[in-house]
Structure 1
Amino acid sequence: MTDLAILYEHPEWFAPLFAALDRRGVDYCAIRPEGAWDPAGSPPPARVVFNRIAMSSFLRSGEHPIFHSIALLDHWRRGGAAIVNGPEVLAIDSSKARQLSLIAGLGLAVPRTRVVHRAADVPDAAQAIGFPLVVKANIGGSGAGIVRFDSLAELRAVIAEGALPRSIDGVLLVQDFVPARDGTITRIETLDRRFLYALDVAGGGAFDLCPADACAAPGAPAIRMQAVGPGATLRDAAERIARAVDLDVGGVEVMIDDRDGTPRFYDINALSNFVARPIDVLGWDPHERLVDYLLERIERL
């Protein structure tokens, strides 16, 4: 059996990972979530399977693989494979409501939020939060499905038009619009539940601050980023979140609320492409550390 399989959807994002695996001579296969699988058969394709399914896949195809892949990864694990970023991680990644509940349960601050599934409940939720606010889809994806509202009248008009954001699971978040200090968020990357690196990210579209060039939509404003030491408090918090999620590799995003200086954690992202131009930005390539980790997982079996 092959040592490692990479389950991925985007045709370009993982070229740096594949190149790093090739340089190290790792025995692996790359698999797209296509075709059919047999719940009474379909053995795992490798001893270790690395899940690289992106939440933004629903933006590229209505026939997205997110929920299909949750079931498939669970099936392969039942068949004896070790799954890196397993089905439970993918399930948390696909629900911002679950992410915020988990983060708040750790005693960390999140933006004030109400979770709804009916448009009729949005006005009451909005009045509980106050304006300005955002209504966002329950699943992430390069800032898609997020709309800012500055008044109840504006919100009611959009509801009447049936033009609220749509979420693939029918769940919406009504959330305080947090003014991020200096217009900057911090993305803290973790590997094996420990700090790997952090970036301050600013610019981009209204809500799209993905630090990888591959995420950028054509014509979107460029983002600015720099490597930072996030400080012990934020670093420790990100590691606590990663442990609570059982996150093998992924990022945690936080912004400093400019109104009171509170760090507010708002996103867990199990799909990290890592920073674009890592040598220029970080001075080292995190893909090499990721390959080290994958080899360690293979050696444990």
Structure 2
Amino acid sequence: MSKIYIIHENDEWTSHLTNRLEELDLLYESWHLGEGILDLNEEPPEGVFYNRMSASSHTRNHRYAPEFAEAVIAWLERHGRTVINGSRALRLEVSKVNQYMALNQSGIRTPKTTVAVGKEQIVEAAEKFLETPFITKHNRAGKGQGVQLFHSIEALKDYVDGPEFEEPVDGITLIQQYIQAPEPYIYRSEFVNGQYVYTVRVDTSEGFELCPADACSIEDLYCPAGEQPEDQAKFTILPEFDDNILRQYESFLRHNEIKVAGIECIKDVHGTFYTYDVNTNTNYNSDAESKADRYGMLELALYLGRKLQEGVQEVSLSTKKG
């Protein structure tokens, strides 16, 4: 029987979606790809396959989950199955370099960035960067992993040579322009079926780790996704946002075959937007959603249900013609 298959590596992040699928009485199956076996000689089952593999899987001891997901998705696409956020989306999820190149190709501004492999090369790249302050971040990351702010080359050298240095899982470190915002906020715009759902404003005054998932520890100052006083809410859904950049984002998603995403940007003192992250396994904050009465996972579950029904109808028509 045809059903919805969820490709992932994190049960905590997936439970919010499966709860919605159960509310809608939709058949689903979870494919946790932390490890497994794939027989390429077999045909995949019928259904809709939703990929929400995360670039931060290695932080949960699932180092090769994205590579395994890539193999599974190649197999599914070879057999013509419906894959939401397929191989192209996964390629962008696990590489900020790929994200920036695709964003730039769509005419979307990203921060000035230099790529470095090797500790000495990180320092050399920063010396050539000629801008302070600057930040470093990992190419394959998530939750703000590896993001550090530096006001001098000397501070960077101390970090790179010190015990706190984080080696990127793919070996690639980015040296990036620091965008000074007039207020300590970034913006994350959510899309389902490539269409705009809402924008959440995120308070960055306590750090760079900006994961909105309820699974984040509420004791973690960098991701306090739990309930907070109204005047201290870290995540706030805005009633409206910049129409021009939203149109650019929808065009970008369409050109890159991405159906579900959260895109993060920051606005500088001149009102210019810089886009710096595309999350194809996007999560939602329940406190912010309940206050705004907008629900991303519900929108996603409804969309997956429609895709499943479309597939069932196509199979039915094909059977009748046969």
Query: TM above 0.5, one fold?
Result: yes
Correspondences of 1:1-301 after superposition (within 5 Å): 1-33=1-33, 34-41=35-42, 43-61=43-61, 63-129=63-129, 130-161=131-162, 164-203=165-204, 205-216=206-217, 218-221=219-222, 222=224, 224-228=234-238, 229-258=240-269, 260-277=270-287, 279-301=289-311
Consecutive unaligned residues in structure 1, runs of 5 or more = none
Q: Residue 8 and residue 205 in structure 1: after superposition, are their counterparts in 2 closer, same or farther (change >3 A)?
A: farther
Are the aligned partners of 2:20 and 2:301 in contact in 1 as well (CA < 8 Å)? Answer: yes
Distance 2:289 2:103 in 1: 32
Are the aligned partners of 1:142 and 1:210 in contact in 2 as well (CA < 8 Å)? Answer: yes
1:139 alignment partner AA: R
Range that drifts further, 69-78 or 291-300: 291-300
Are the aligned partners of 2:54 and 2:93 in contact in 1 as well (CA < 8 Å)? Answer: no
Instruction: Answer with 1 or 2: which has the greater Rg.
Output: 2
Q: Per the alignment, in what secondary structure is the counterpart of residue 180 of structure 1?
A: coil
Q: Residue 218 and residue 162 in structure 1: after superposition, are their counterparts in 2 closer, same or farther (change >3 A)?
A: closer
Are the aligned partners of 2:237 and 2:289 in contact in 1 as well (CA < 8 Å)? Answer: no
Distance 2:124 2:167 in 1: 18
Range that drifts further, 273-282 or 262-271: 273-282
TM-score, normalization: structure 2? 0.86
- Give the strand-richer structure, 1 or 2: 1
Identity %: 25
Q: Residue 280 and residue 106 in structure 1: after superposition, are their counterparts in 2 closer, same or farther (change >3 A)?
A: same
Consecutive unaligned residues in structure 2, runs of 5 or more = 225-232, 312-322
TM-score, normalization: structure 1? 0.91
Q: Residue 205 and residue 9 in structure 1: after superposition, are their counterparts in 2 closer, same or farther (change >3 A)?
A: farther
Distance 1:172 1:159 in 2: 11
Distance 2:193 2:25 in 1: 22
Q: Residue 177 and residue 279 in structure 1: after superposition, are their counterparts in 2 closer, same or farther (change >3 A)?
A: closer
